[in-house]
Structure 1
Amino acid sequence: MEIMKIVAIAIGGVIMAAVVKNFKPEFSIYVVLATVIIIFLMALDKLTTVFQFLGTVYGEMTYGKNFFPIIIKVLVVAYLADFTAQLCKDAGESAIAGKVELAGKIVIFYLSMPILLAILELINSVL
């Protein structure tokens, strides 16, 4: 199972970061970053499968094709903003993490405006 490998890498990374922190605290962030990058690359492999599946679903859709790419972009922004904010928090920069989260929310709202407009137009046409 892939999750067992990820868990093992994460636990190993935490142990190595703790050991390194005792001798050279400034280098422990590099151990954490390397661990996070390895885990992200392992998850990225699964993400390509997800995107292939979504491409298949998109090809079979008859209604809502205009909104599907927007939803995918929103999901990507949400994951990237969360990932980056967590990295910033791990590095002890919670102020930067908060701004990344805020920027992600603003970008998500901006990307979702066409969907909001379509919903408002639908409500207007019904009334």
Structure 2
Amino acid sequence: MNMIQIGIIGVAGTLLAVQFKSGKSEYGIYISVALSLVIFFAIIGRLEVIIDALRTIANYINMDTAYIGTLIKMLGITYVAEFSAGICKDAGYQTIALQIEIFGKLAVLVLSMPVLMALLNTIKDFLS
């Protein structure tokens, strides 16, 4: 799907969800979740292009593939955290949404530690 299709689906779904919110609010939430899942799966289809580009870059600069895997995991964590938090915010549960965002940030921080340590070791080797 291209951006115009996603935009049209998003606006149409939002208008439909707003119509249901006044009568039966749970239907509006269900429509919002379904719409989010459709967009989520459209994005997953595009991730293959990004992964191929990262692999090509890694081959050009002889970078360890573990770092590429880490970057992809970080991208996935941030997207899932934003996706989940957005659904929780739409449902009116801002506190849960904030907890999901904090957990996502900490998960990315944990994943980045080996990369940071490798960078610090490289700097230390240059200074020694």
Q: Does 1:27 align with 2:32?
A: no
Q: Which runs of 5+ in 1 are unaligned?
A: none
- What TM-score comes out, normalization by structure 1 length? 0.87
Aligned equivalent of 1:52: 52
Matched-pair contact (CA < 8 Å) for 2:58–2:64: no
Take 2:64 and 2:20, find their aligned partners in 1: how far apart are those partners? 52
Aligned equivalent of 1:6: 6
Give matches, 1:1-127, under 5 Å. Answer: 2-127=2-127
Q: 1:28 to 1:66 in 2, by over 3 A?
A: closer
Take 1:54 and 1:36, find their aligned partners in 2: how far apart are those partners? 26
CA drift of 1:123 comes to: 2.3
Take 1:63 and 1:45, find their aligned partners in 2: how far apart are those partners? 25
CA drift of 1:61 comes to: 4.2
Q: 1:64 to 1:48 in 2, by over 3 A?
A: closer
How well do the aligned residues superpose, as a CA RMSD in angstroms? 1.8
Matched-pair contact (CA < 8 Å) for 2:77–2:108: yes
Take 1:51 and 1:126, find their aligned partners in 2: how far apart are those partners? 31
Runs (4+) of structure 1 exceeding 6 A deviation are none
Take 1:119 and 1:125, find their aligned partners in 2: how far apart are those partners? 10
Take 2:63 and 2:47, find their aligned partners in 1: how far apart are those partners? 25
Worse-superposed segment, 66-75 or 104-113 = 66-75
Take 1:122 and 1:50, find their aligned partners in 2: how far apart are those partners? 27
CA deviation profile, 1:15-73 (whole Å, cap 9, x unmatched): 11111112212211001111111111222221223223333444444134342221221
Q: Which runs of 5+ in 2 are unaligned?
A: none
- What TM-score comes out, normalization by structure 2 length? 0.87
Q: How many residues align?
A: 127
